[in-house]
Amino acid sequence: MAAKSIKIGATVVVLGLALTGLLYSTLSEGTEYYKHVDEIMANPVVWEGKRLQLHGFVVEKSVLVKPNTLEYRFQIQNNGKVVPARFTGVVPDNFKGGAEVVLKGRLAHDGFDVDPNGVMAKCPSKYQAASPAGASGS
């Protein structure tokens, strides 16, 4: 009876270790933090190199495109804090100065490196509630 208990115990331990290792390896690479620009700029050193989804607004007149390429340089801001960003690829149609964006990538010491397909621009005007019918402005 003792041999059977040892086999069951060893099996449980091996399966537990395998499951723990699998979860750790899966979650360690797939984890992304969702942060606003002002949150990461409070202490940027802590966030350097980590995978982030960075939320902010494109600074007006900050979007620069290298001629004949798809290389973009721009700044995003939130609550007065600004981060320069770099992206190579096709941006959404509604990406422009003042647009609300979420960028996927990593924070470097000199700015935010956006992943390919890592720019998501929101379009708030489409989703604003319409004013009630019959409401007057005065």
In SS3 terms, 120-136 reads as: EECCHHHHCCCCCCCCC
Which of 76, 101, 95 lies closest to 86 in space, CA to CA?
A: 76
91 pLDDT exceeds 70?
Answer: yes
- The per-residue pLDDT for range 30-86, each reduced to its tens digit, is 678 899 999 999 999 999 988 899 999 999 998 999 989 999 999 999 999 999 999
- Give this prediction's pTM: 0.69
24's CB contacts (< 8 A; 6+ apart) are none
Are 7 and 51 in the same domain? no
Are 120 and 58 in the same domain? yes
> Domains in the chain: how many in total?
2
pLDDT at site 11: 92
- End-to-end Cα separation, the chain, in angstroms: 88
Are 62 and 119 in the same domain? yes
pLDDT at site 126: 53
Are 37 and 10 in the same domain? no
Distance in angstroms (rounded) separating the CA atoms of residues 74 and 56: 12
CA 103 to chain centre: 5
* Full domain range(s) for residue 99: 32-124
Q: Is the Cβ–Cβ distance between 59 and 97 less than 8 Å? A: yes
Are 40 and 105 in the same domain? yes
- Asked whether residue 82 is assigned to any structural domain, the reply reads yes
